[in-house]
Amino acid sequence: MDNSADAFDVVILGAGSGGYSCALRASQLGLSVALVEKDKLGGTCLHVGCIPTKALLHAAEVADAARDSAKVGVTATFDGIDVPALHAYKDGVVTRLHKGLTGLVRGRGITVVEGEGRLVDQRTVEVAGRRLTGRHLVLATGSTPRTLPGLDVDGERVLTSDHALRLYRVPASVVVVGGGVIGCEFASVWRSFGAEVTIVEALPRLVPGEDEASSRALERAFRKRGITARTGVGFSAAERTASGVRLTLDDDQVLEAEVVLVAVGRGPVTEGLGFAEHGIELDRGFVVTDERCRTSVEGVFAVGDIVPGLQLAHRGFAQGIFVAEEIAGLEPRPIADETVPRVTYCDPEVASVGITEATARERYGDAVEVLTYDLGGNGKSQILQTQGFVKLVRRTDGPVVGIHLVGARVGEMVAEAQLIVGWEAHPADVAPLLHAHPTQGEALGEAHLALAGSPLHAHA
């Protein structure tokens, strides 16, 4: 191996969730690491994804609480959104986390190289004329918002999620094209801030990757909140008007709004980085890997959003740690997408882990049992004035293979759900576990009691 100052055990291209977690773990395991980033440490999740959007969602929750405070005997008023103060709050959260991460990375002795990196051979990344050689390369270049032909993003009237996070006004009306996670979260925020919101989703239901029961519950809740969802229809044309955008749908319906948010998913950032030229197999821009995150080139790994599958920060984070341990020879257990928890942080939240009822029936036929426990029987849910459910999917006389949750703050319950599914627990294994009262977590316990054949409440 090259013994120059720019030779490392691991060179990582991209410092988002997957890249920086890989760097931290590799350094912890005694490996020399170079971490290349063209923008800021933390990537999409920290700067234009998870953290800033959830800050906006928390502000939306506060707005709703003020608006509805009389229901709980508190006198308060909702007078509107102070947009500069909102952004100061959001940006303050991001800045503090960024400073903490920057200090942590530099404190571990990781060489951080700023600039856009590109592969020049199967072991070398070039950044602004500097060449970094690694015994192993890790590709973690992340993703970028997709758009659709005919929806020309201008950052003023037709927005991506990146633009929406920087919007210095609350629009009077919004059409959200795409009813997945990103679309539903922004729709929820804007509605709480006072905008009229319509979601257009080409597939038959919102959050189409979730269990059908979760989609139906979310659509009902959105209707009650005044959010219109047009599902099963796509868009055919868009034109800018004096006051906004006119959108024509496939069924010839015309929608007009001040802004349109294009939320049709995220594409991999791999083009022009030398991947294909140096033998790395791509599929529609995504890097093809095996279950151990190995690419088609020996010694080169890929993690995060550029790898086909769930585009979630915590998945990339776990893959980064996995690859560091793989390089160090620890033979870690691969990350299975079916054990990765998923949360849509709208109001109400939708959370899940494992497989849907439909997938279970495709896989196991009639050997499937399903139980739904309504949150109406849960004390904390009544306190929070939320509606929803816990839905369990199990193999008959076997383990629980899917848990699906709808309701306020149910994202906080998905960690226990992941343990249940990941450890292939049977309902009878979970039923004896104590859950603090009053918590929404009790609903998980009650649901498993019922599925184990010993329900305590009639709501199961």
Instruction: Please give the positions annotated as active site.
Output: 437
The residue written with tokens 């095996």 in the block is 290
Q: 367 near 389, Cβ under 8 Å?
A: no
DSSP string, 350-394: EEEEE--HHHHHHHHTT-EEEEEEEGGG-HHHHHHT---EEEEEE
The 8 Å CB, 24+ separation contacts for 1-7 are: 1/133, 1/135, 2/133, 4/133, 6/34, 6/130, 6/131, 6/132, 6/133, 7/132, 7/133, 7/134
Q: What angle do CA 261, 265, 271 make, to 5 degrees?
A: 115
Q: 344 near 207, Cβ under 8 Å?
A: yes
**Type of residue found at 408:** A
**Type of residue found at 142:** G
- What residues does 354 pair with on adjacent strands? 402
Q: How far apart are the first and last CA of the chain?
A: 63
C-alpha–C-alpha distance, residues 59 and 193, integer Å: 9
**Type of residue found at 409:** R
